[in-house]
Structures are given as structure tokens and as C-alpha cells.
Amino acid sequence: MWIMVLGDMVIFGAYFIIFMIHRAMNPQLFIASQQHLNITVGVVNTIVLLTSSWFIARSVLAVRAGEHRRAIRLTYYGGAFGALFIAVKAYEWATELMAGYTMSTNEFFTFYYMLTGVHLFHVTLGLIILGVVVRELRNPRKRRLSMVESGAIYWHLIDLLWIAIFALLYVLR
């Protein structure tokens, strides 16, 4: 899992550097385009994803304490907030698309959809991983702390990436 996490961090790091280079070459376009994003939606999604990670962290603690039913419930809550993140992002994308902002609008929106789209893929993969964690926790013969911790590590990576994306797309002026 650590190799996968480090690989993702390198890839996203490259995306972020490329974004910053392009932003530096045309700051007015990026700042003007950024004004069309709804920062409140971005903040809501950040809170939703951080809440999800809080549930996953609590799930790891529950497993360590031998409270497997509680860990399952907390993992479900974490996954539900992950699904809510996807729903909020879908709403945001629909709003932007209805306003006429597509990947071909300009360079900023190309980056916006690419970065958030690749992140959404990772959130979806993370939800699958959380499903595997729940499956493991339900089977007393397969309950492995390492599996739960690996799932949590990946889920927290998703948070870390989102915080960087949020900063670059919504906050950085």
C-alpha cells in the first residue's frame, strides 16, 4: 500500500507542478476562471472528506481495541461520507457544465476537470477498498489489522490529495 501511496503522490505532485507552471504563465486567466467556482461547495466537500477520514481513523482504533462491529459501523460511515463527497462533486460539475464551463473552455477548466476527475477515480477506488475492509471485518477468520490500516492509509491519501487540490483550485489567488 505504501508503494501505491508514494506512486500516487509522485503522480499528483507532477500534476500540481504542471498546474503551477501553467498558472504562472497566465495568472489572469486562472484567477478569472477560478472566480466561477463556488468556494462554499469546495469547503463543504473538504469538510465531508475530512469527516470521512475521521470515521476511518476511529475504525482503526476500534479494530485495535477488538471492537469489530463498531469498526464495521464506522467504516460504513466513512464510506457514506465518501459517497456524499462524490455526490457534492457531481452537483458542482453539473452546475459548472450548465453554466457553460467545460474542459475545452480554457486551460484552467481543463486542469479543474482533470484534477478533480482523477481524484474522483481515487475516491471511487477508496470506496472499493473500504468495501474490502468491511468484508474482512465481517469474517472472524480474516480480520487483519494490517488490511484495515492499509485501507485507512489509502483513504487518508485521498484526503491529503483533496486538500492540495482544494488549495490550488479554490483558494490560491
Average confidence score pLDDT of the chain:
94
- Sequence length of the chain is 173
Q: How confident is the model at residue 140 (pLDDT cuts 50, 70, 90)?
A: confident
Q: How confident is the model at residue 147 (pLDDT cuts 50, 70, 90)?
A: confident
Which domains, from first to last, does the chain contain? 2-7+29-171 (1.20.120.80)
Range 114-128 average pLDDT: 96
Task: Write the CA distances from 14 to 19, 20, 21, 98, integer angstroms.
Answer: 8, 10, 11, 30
Q: State the alpha helices, DSSP H only, in 1-106.
A: 2-25, 27-34, 39-64, 68-98
Phi, psi of 144 (to 5 degrees): -120, 120
Closest CA to 113 of 101, 125, 122: 101
Task: Write the CA distances from 26 to 23, 32, 82, 173, integer angstroms.
Answer: 5, 10, 34, 12
Range 142-162 average pLDDT: 90
Residue 29 corresponds to which amino acid? L
Rounded Cα gap, residues 28 and 37, in angstroms = 15
Which residue matches cell numbers 482544494? 166
DSSP annotation string for 110-161: HHHHHHHHHHHHHHHHHHHHHHHHHHHHHSTTT--HHHHHHHHHHHHHHHHH
Assign 38 to helix, strand or coil: coil
Given this model, what pLDDT does residue 1 score?
Answer: 76
Rounded Cα gap, residues 11 and 104, in angstroms = 23
Report pLDDT digits (tens) over 19-76: 999 999 999 999 999 999 999 999 999 999 999 999 999 999 999 999 999 999 999 9
